Amino acid sequence: MKKTAPWAHSLQEWMVNAGAELHWESGALPITITHKQKPFASCYITSPKIAWFDYAADELQGHFFLKALLKIFSHLANSIGMSDNAIVGNFPISTNVWRTVDDVALFQTCQSFKHQRLSSFIFVRNLLMYKHQQLILDLKKIGFVTLPARVVYEFDLRMGMKVKPSHLTRDLSALKKSKLKVSSMDLIDDLQAERLQSLYELIYIKKHSVYNANYTPAFFKDMINTKWMSCLNLINEEGEIVAFALLHQIGDTLTVPALGYFESETKAGIYRLLFASIYQYTLEHQLLLNYSSGAGDFKRKRGAQSRLEYTAVKAPASFLNWKSRLLGWIGQKTEHLTHDDLIRLGA
């Protein structure tokens, strides 16, 4: 049984760019709360405004005018107070997974918060239509609007492997032939935590985007040493960790909140080998892997199912209810968007 993680920590000790506080509703439901006052959130996990506009603009290749438009929308979102928000059910990781019984707590908290936080936007991230249809309908009844957020990729190995795509076959073969050892850790020291943080930073912050969560060594140490998460490693012949994946399991669903690696470690491509080890772990434990967003082409070629993920949002009170009306209009304009539409933009 997993122990309780050290919730007494300030979120700033785990995430440099959080700009938010982590609260726990009834001791079980995580909520991140940001404020207009500094320090501002500069991470998409604690700021849907950044996820929709700043991060999206950062990720677009080409599309100059669309990038510029997203930046304009980002400034407009700030001006209407979207940086003052509460995100219900939001542990500070990319993909939150809830048990079915958690849906009731999520709805009840949202219902309570809409009366308690009249000046704040209220969000619920990581909603999938096939999993959370009833919750989405219930949230809409109390004034929430559901907006497309991103495309995530799932590998359902709960019944074993049905088809092995050729790209995956090559990855698994390359891992087997490599001189890297696959191992797991459930207890780490300060030096190992710093190693994981440095590998993570190389990929998520320096290579991809400063809007990703900028985790500290304390985050990795706390998540692993409390058994809240586990860590899968690739070790070279010198005994060094050259790649890792942080694994978080809720029920039969596995997510990978963080990973990192040295890109020049092997000719076969270290990311391919790391994914192969994650895939093997998922298969051995017969789990559903929600492999989050990004690297869509890579994941689709290895058999992933694409899913359109939504974020539900409730606007605060405003003159003539104009903020809610604006969200409703945006909801109507985006309700027919599909995962294929976002994939065409590079998701």
Compute the average pLDDT of residues 126-136: 96
Compute the average pLDDT of residues 134-138: 97
Compute the average pLDDT of residues 27-49: 84
Question: Across the chain, what does the average pLDDT equal?
Answer: 91
Q: What is the pLDDT of residue 38?
A: 64
Beta-strand relationship, 288-290 and 253-261: parallel
The token pair at 102 is: 């958690």
Q: What is the pLDDT of residue 196?
A: 98
Cα 236 to Cα 12: distance, rounded to the nearest angstrom: 33
Q: What is the pLDDT of residue 1?
A: 39
Compute the average pLDDT of residues 163-176: 93
- Which tens digit of pLDDT belongs to each residue from 57-80? 887 766 788 888 988 998 899 889
The answer on pLDDT for 253 being more than 50 is yes
CB-CB contact of 259 with 274 (8 Å): yes
Cα 20 to Cα 185: distance, rounded to the nearest angstrom: 29
Q: What is the pLDDT of residue 252?
A: 96
Q: Which domains does the chain have, with CATH numbers?
A: 11-150+308-344 (no CATH), 158-286 (3.40.630.30)
The answer on pLDDT for 228 being more than 70 is yes
Compute the average pLDDT of residues 20-36: 85
The answer on pLDDT for 47 being more than 70 is yes
Compute the average pLDDT of residues 159-167: 89
The answer on pLDDT for 163 being more than 90 is no
Sheet holding 253-261, edge to edge: 20-25, 29-34, 85-88, 121-128, 305-314, 145-156, 288-290, 253-261, 241-250, 230-235, 181-185
Cα 9 to Cα 22: distance, rounded to the nearest angstrom: 9
Q: If you search the block for the tokens 């790209």, which residue do you land on? A: 167
| pTM over 0.75, yes/no | yes
The answer on pLDDT for 329 being more than 90 is yes
Q: Which residues contact 135 (CB under 8 A, 6 or more apart)?
A: 103, 106, 107, 124, 127
Cα separation values, 234 from 50, 97, 178, 180, 248, Å: 33, 26, 10, 6, 18
Tell me which DSSP letter residue 15 carries: B
Residue 131 CB neighbours (<10 A)? 17
Radius of gyration for the chain, computed over Cα atoms and rounded to the nearest angstrom: 20
The answer on pLDDT for 2 being more than 50 is no
